Structure 1
Amino acid sequence: MGNSLPVIICDDSPLARKHMERALAPWNLSITHANHGLEALEAIRAGKGELLFLDLNMPLMDGYEVLERIREQDLPVLTIVVSGDIQPEAHERVRQLGALDFIRKPIDIEHLSRSLHAFGLLEEIRPVQNLSPGVSGRLNTAPSSPIEQAQALSGHYQELANVAMGQAAALLAQLMNTFIELPIPSVKLVESGELEMAMQQSISQSAFTTVCQGFIAPGISGEALLILNGTQAEQLAQLLNHQGEVTEQVERELTMEIATLLIGAFLNGFGQQLDLNFSQSSPKMLDTLPRRDSLMDSNQPDRILSIEISYRIEGLALSCDLLLLFTEDSLPPLNELASHLL
């Protein structure tokens, strides 16, 4: 590969890196993987990348910080951002920091090709004539139980959540005319008793408001919880352009509006990637912990797949936590779908 172009793929998700590498398979490249921004900078300084594909939401050093360092240190690399954060403000910020282009996740191969061609990079990364078979996203040796499979696929679920939360944040940013700071999604398996205790603690604190909404798809069921700091009702009303007094009833209506938007947008983005359509029940405010709610039913399995996302409004103390909970008996079909992501 003497004429190959050195390329760095920087993303904290192994699945996302595999997606990017597969998308680049038609061209003659020498690819280096970086788990976060610091590794990417080290690889650039070591001469391992003339072209960098950069995620935004990463631990240790995110994509914005990487772009700032590249500009400050005048590092010899061209950068294309690849992210699930599709807020127009995110696009504008990375371009101001020197990125050539912004490609949304999941990867659009045609957009990728147009971008490489537009910046004259296709001339350097000439097509490879004989392609080896693509990397499979399926588990090579299937773990013995759905729980173990879900644990092995936690990176897949995190990347699914990363794309879905970006779509939800874009809608929220448009509604509020602001910028939403996105975290790295937390994916874990929890005991139902542990979850019940956490919910009880949240609901018992008067400063927090919790909205619950059930959802189903073929073979899959669960509940979504949105936890909002109730002491910030005035800021929420201002962001949603509410005119007039913020009564307790108005606060509840605003909270339900945000919950419906975020939960619906997240489930839509999550389902699209797995070719699923989720149906949702009516949202409800949890003033007390339900008596053995669907996820807590003693007849149900006691392990739950939890996906947690914390949304932050830039420049404000306003924040909310979105928690997606899938029952244990939903894991076999979910695992099967997630394992086919590549």
Structure 2
Amino acid sequence: MPLPILICDDSALARKQMARTLPKEWDVEITYATNGLEGIEAIREGKGEVVFLDLNMPVMDGYQVLEAIQREDLPALVIVVSGDIQIKAHERVKSLGALDFIQKPVSADAISHILQEYGILELALGGQEQQAPMIEVDLRDACQEVANVAMGRAADLLAKLLNVFVKLPIPNVNVLEVSELTMTLKATEDYGTVSALCQGFIGAGVAGEALLLFHDSSFQDMAKLMKLENPEDEETELEVMIDTANVLIGAFLNGISEQLHMKFSQSHPVILGRHCSVNHLISENSDKWSRTLAMEINYSIEDHDIQCDLLLLFTEDSLPTLNNKLGYLLD
């Protein structure tokens, strides 16, 4: 009988990449789940003796899946496959019973090594080559998975610098008109006043702006983590903004460039506004933005009152090049 394999990930691109990296000689039957709840139901039905599990998912995330497997004593060997490469994420999944951790994007060599290391590959050798079900991947899904991996790279760097755990959301990716982008930014108004800066970036056929919105309530806590003197001083706030932007924007763009095999040049950061409402920020700068591909990530730090929103706004002219680059990931 083929070995029941479950690939649990909300990204169609990630599911497709994962299925492709499984050893060809492995006699397996693959089931897909798009969130943790679907994954748990599949495991209960005996469709996931070996599970490749993402962490950041809607409805039920990977941590909750691991907790449910432990609580119900379900027969599943779980290998976490995630873009969240923070050391504390590794430690948490191992403490919840995960067999091991593989960082995204996955490679066939990494998968084969882990399967051999734990003796899993030998469980189902010698069968006929299996054809994984076809998975359709659109531009938005592919961009979201690229953003997910880049987000994890940036969070890992910030976590190491501050010795914290960065809580990661599911990236929000959409092609937006200016009016829709305005609504996206206004969604942060619940957090009170913000300070913001932008930084332009350009690569071969791709250009845009990175926008960092720092919630004003976060400044003092962030300054203390950075061990800066005079956390209430305006110059200290400026230093916090620029240092945070250098980490998050730089690492995020590097994460994208690694996946799409292209390099970005960055301009100097420019302050867009300080201690103002999002509505004011938009009205002062809306003429800079037109139709755009937007990647939106909200970073927050566990046990601290710190939140900031990172938006990558790609120009409309960048879409053909991005489509072409993403095509290599889809094929």
Does TM-score exceed 0.5, indicating one fold?
A: yes
Read off the aligned partner of 1:20 and give its amino acid letter. Answer: M
Match of 2:89 in 1: 90
Query: Which string of whole-angstrom CA distances, capped at 9 and with x for unpartnered residues, describes residues 147-194 of structure 1?
Result: xxxxx3100000000000000000010111100010000011111244
The answer to whether the Cα contact below 8 Å between 1:211 and 1:226 also exists between their aligned partners in 2 is yes
Q: CA deviation at 1:284?
A: 1.1
Gaps of 5+ in 2: 274-280
Q: Percent identity?
A: 50
Counterparts in 2 of 1:164 and 1:243: CA distance versus 1, 3 Å:
same
2: CA distance, partners of 1:21 / 1:202: 37
Q: CA deviation at 1:315?
A: 1.6
The answer to whether the Cα contact below 8 Å between 1:267 and 1:278 also exists between their aligned partners in 2 is yes
Q: CA deviation at 1:231?
A: 2.2
Q: CA deviation at 1:129?
A: 6.0
Q: 1:63 and 2:49 equivalent? A: no
Q: 1:280 and 2:278 equivalent? A: no
Q: CA deviation at 1:48?
A: 1.0
Q: 1:309 and 2:297 equivalent? A: yes
Match of 1:230 in 2: 216
Match of 1:154 among 112, 118, 140: 140
Match of 2:7 in 1: 9
SS at 1:246 equivalent: coil
Counterparts in 2 of 1:101 and 1:153: CA distance versus 1, 3 Å:
same
Query: Which string of whole-angstrom CA distances, capped at 9 and with x for unpartnered residues, describes residues 84-116 of structure 1?
Result: 000000000000000000000000322211211
Read off the aligned partner of 2:318 and give its amino acid letter. Answer: S
The answer to whether the Cα contact below 8 Å between 1:80 and 1:100 also exists between their aligned partners in 2 is yes
Q: CA deviation at 1:312?
A: 1.1
Gaps of 5+ in 1: 140-151, 297-301
Match of 1:340 among 322, 328, 331: 328
Match of 2:313 among 322, 325, 330: 325
2: CA distance, partners of 1:253 / 1:94: 35
2: CA distance, partners of 1:45 / 1:103: 24
Match of 1:242 in 2: 228
The answer to whether the Cα contact below 8 Å between 2:23 and 2:108 also exists between their aligned partners in 1 is no
2: CA distance, partners of 1:131 / 1:200: 48
SS at 2:122 equivalent: coil
Larger CA deviation: 116-125 vs 259-268: 116-125
SS at 1:286 equivalent: strand
Match of 1:142 in 2: none
1: CA distance, partners of 2:125 / 2:53: 21
Q: 1:77 and 2:76 equivalent? A: yes
Match of 1:103 in 2: 102
Q: Superposition RMSD on alpha carbons, in Å?
A: 2.4
1: CA distance, partners of 2:284 / 2:194: 20
SS at 1:117 equivalent: helix
Match of 1:47 in 2: 46
Match of 1:30 in 2: 29
**So what's the TM-score if we normalise by structure 1?**
0.87
